[in-house]
Structure 1
């Protein structure tokens, strides 16, 4: 968030010791994948067009080795560029997400320049005094609802700069705000019910109706939401009581300066009628975004246009003037430029794997590993395989199309119903996508929240074990029933 009276604050995180930044981690993964294209045999499945999915899907039993395509240093340097726009592999494109992030940054810069957010947050915190902790389960319920119904993911990036200042003002930390959004939407995806990008596509690829296995997914959703909510509330309360217990305690002053603004407004300053109108429009913009994505088929272009239009409307109502409006918009976009860059870099990893023709080789290796297993061993091995594959293919729909046509027929031989194979897929990828450095939502959310990746891992690893245990236990129980 920015003040137009001073230079925009950079989103670069303060030095955090020996652990490298997200940029270094992601570029190292690009290099590692390029090296693997020299070592791992290249191979491909034959593919046929699926009229239902509108995509080519692999045919089980058709894997064959092909001519190797080792990736050179030139490919490594081109991968981040191709990650933004690759006309061959649209699944890997990040330009639409990156532009959306920049427009959201500009929108937030304009709204912040009106002063409505600063005063609104200050007054909201005074009214919530003593009841701040209930924001956590309420917000996590809303994000989980978005995750389970329409796969809320990239669109969560718009909420971080909105929610994190509220959490910090309530006495928590930036990591709490990140966790509420990322874990809230994440557990919704883990327990997807009608999510078209996970449950529906995977079920279609497996040849079953997406309603099959619904009650198991509802149980997974409820238990995972409860575990995640209690986990976040416990951490947040510990931070409120003792700020030194925060995983980002050494960044407290820097984060407060960035999210709450260096120039504090007096607590006695009141919301004017104009401020109230601006805040209503501000909230309505997010509500319209959710409506458009969930019911109208909107994606990044439409959402970007929405935030641009709202920025212009709010800037006009506040009578900022042409120069102040453009300064605020550009400064806000500049604050999130690092986020946009890291998203493209993450997608570059997929580019290298696809160009090097090793993605199908990994899938074929997993196919051979789980053949002949017992039913309980199979469903848990499938869970583990999908979790590993989602590191390499962070697109939920992309991995569904890639893996389900292979894994669903294998489940028949293991005596496992195909709906359990779909549930194993969606729960595994949902858990992995809470930490995968190849996933734009993770690296983007952490960058906006100024939470170093290693701090996030230290925070979330106990919860990952709990969520994995819940999913694997329920999958095993379902096999036995």
Structure 2
């Protein structure tokens, strides 16, 4: 027993008070699910008429008769996790259920992607190559470790602004958490670098086809309209976000007791070597290269290069892959086998570690499924359009500067209701964009205000896989993540409003 442990044993025990623990992420999501389900009894269902492109028509909102009985609502609540995994959206009614014909609405693709990444990373660590590589990189960066944080965040921000790099970041936690720990930081530093890094890029999307592209198309403006403002926001807000995470990391490194995430057993035993570690073997170097190339190929495969280079609606290049989670899942499963063979693992050990990777990452996958189940309930009760209609009047009849800020503000609650950027844009833009004409501001400013709200809210909303899945992989509690990100969100909130107001005033 340690000396500290001996002192605690011999001292007079203080009156015991049972400390109430903060609920787990599973409990939080279960509570959100029930709360949304209950709210649907109060919020009446409604809908907008749609044009031939599937966009809602301004002024066409109408109430719907509540045809869902209590039994059907209970069934929706009961099946929410199932629908969150493999629920199908009926092409005619729009309802989501596990036993209808239509398109996949559940998060099965993302769920399997997370498991595949878990298998890939676990096999890679089993070879010993990543441990050795992380040790050597930590040694080289021991005096300038902040450069790692800066580099990660800038790269993720660029990927976010170009192609909406978000869920793909889930694959990086198993690599970056051990590395940040080895450099003396905590788990929250890694979470901040990943979520805030990619998130600020999505918030300031420039040519992201899933955010800016979808919204610009729905608003009837070109993808490049407003890009100067968005570039200025990208530079300023990324600098602020990087500075905030670096400040927090240095603060924790100087005083570990100030860590907001706390320390898991063994976290503080992972340190950068004071003396240079042994050189890596050729086999280990080969495994590290395979891991790095796999992640680089993933980024290449998901970027819509034709749209990025030539604008919205452009044809994809012949060499463009256009992969999604199905192909990426296969990539990491095949990669796990290749890395295992390259690392000298036998069939038995490779199979064992693939199974271990599945089991280690399944918790994060379930969190993603539960979050998707919440959106299923909102979809099936048809309350989202009613909320949009209630907010529609808030932005009408205001000055240009107030209007620009109001667009941002009213889209924040919508972003919580609709974590999908493309879904949010398709619903909100046809309603919000025409209002810009009456406020005498460019429609592109509405696009910027909308995507700022969506990106800002998705830094913290518990119904998005990026947040709940990320913190689950990093083993960080949601309440502590909120404490970490809240000051940053406050700073970003003010900066976004200032940028939008100035842009509206300039015209």
Gap regions ≥5 residues in structure 1: 1-14, 51-55
Aligned to 1:473: 498
Contact 2:88 2:105 in 1 (8 A): no
Distance 2:377 2:246 in 1: 40
Task: Kindly name which structure, 1 or 2, has the bigger radius of gyration based on alpha carbons.
Answer: 2
> Displacement of 1:92 after TM fit?
4.1
Q: Which has the higher contact order (CA 8 A, sep 6+)?
A: 1
Aligned to 1:11: none
Aligned to 2:24: 21
Contact 1:82 1:348 in 2 (8 A): yes
Distance 2:503 2:206 in 1: 17
Contact 1:92 1:348 in 2 (8 A): no
Aligned to 2:402: 377
> Displacement of 1:269 after TM fit?
4.3
Contact 2:261 2:481 in 1 (8 A): no
Mapping for residues 137-286 of structure 1, pairs under 5 Å: 137-249=150-262, 251-253=263-265, 255=267, 268-286=277-295
SS of 1:20's partner is: coil
Distance 2:19 2:427 in 1: 38
Match of 2:367 among 334, 342, 345: 342
Contact 1:164 1:177 in 2 (8 A): yes
Distance of aligned partners of 1:185 and 1:377 in 2 relative to their CA distance in 1, 3 Å threshold: same
Residues paired across the two proteins, number = 456
> Displacement of 1:267 after TM fit?
7.5
Bigger CA drift: 295-304 or 325-334?
Answer: 295-304
Aligned to 1:37: 40
Match of 2:143 among 107, 130, 133: 130
Bigger CA drift: 123-132 or 107-116?
Answer: 123-132
Distance of aligned partners of 1:314 and 1:446 in 2 relative to their CA distance in 1, 3 Å threshold: same
Bigger CA drift: 116-125 or 393-402?
Answer: 116-125
Contact 2:47 2:64 in 1 (8 A): yes
Distance 2:41 2:250 in 1: 50
Aligned to 1:57: 55
Distance 1:124 1:478 in 2: 43
Aligned to 1:95: 108
Distance 1:16 1:459 in 2: 22
Aligned to 1:414: 439
Distance of aligned partners of 1:93 and 1:255 in 2 relative to their CA distance in 1, 3 Å threshold: farther
Deviations 1:6-59 (A, max 9, x none): xxxxxxxxx995321111111111111111221111111111331xxxxx2211
Bigger CA drift: 451-460 or 67-76?
Answer: 67-76
SS of 2:398's partner is: coil
Deviations 1:310-366 (A, max 9, x none): 111111122312111110011011111000001010011111011111111001111
Aligned to 1:5: none
Distance of aligned partners of 1:402 and 1:16 in 2 relative to their CA distance in 1, 3 Å threshold: farther
> Displacement of 1:374 after TM fit?
2.1
Aligned to 2:336: 311
Gap regions ≥5 residues in structure 2: 1-17, 90-95, 97-102, 306-320
SS of 2:265's partner is: helix
> Displacement of 1:468 after TM fit?
1.1
Q: TM-score scaled by structure 1?
A: 0.92
Match of 1:395 among 420, 438, 443: 420
Deviations 1:346-390 (A, max 9, x none): 011111011111111001111123222222222111101111101
* CA-atom RMSD in angstroms: 1.9
Aligned to 1:121: 134
Bigger CA drift: 424-433 or 30-39?
Answer: 30-39
> Displacement of 1:74 after TM fit?
2.2
Aligned to 1:446: 471
Aligned to 1:6: none
Residues 1:287 and 2:290 aligned together: no
SS of 1:171's partner is: coil
SS of 1:49's partner is: coil
Contact 2:135 2:277 in 1 (8 A): no
> Displacement of 1:79 after TM fit?
1.1
Contact 1:92 1:350 in 2 (8 A): no
Deviations 1:279-321 (A, max 9, x none): 0001000000000011421110111111111111111122312
Aligned to 1:3: none
Distance of aligned partners of 1:467 and 1:355 in 2 relative to their CA distance in 1, 3 Å threshold: same
SS of 2:206's partner is: coil
> Displacement of 1:169 after TM fit?
0.2
Distance 1:38 1:184 in 2: 38
Bigger CA drift: 163-172 or 86-95?
Answer: 86-95
Contact 1:161 1:448 in 2 (8 A): yes
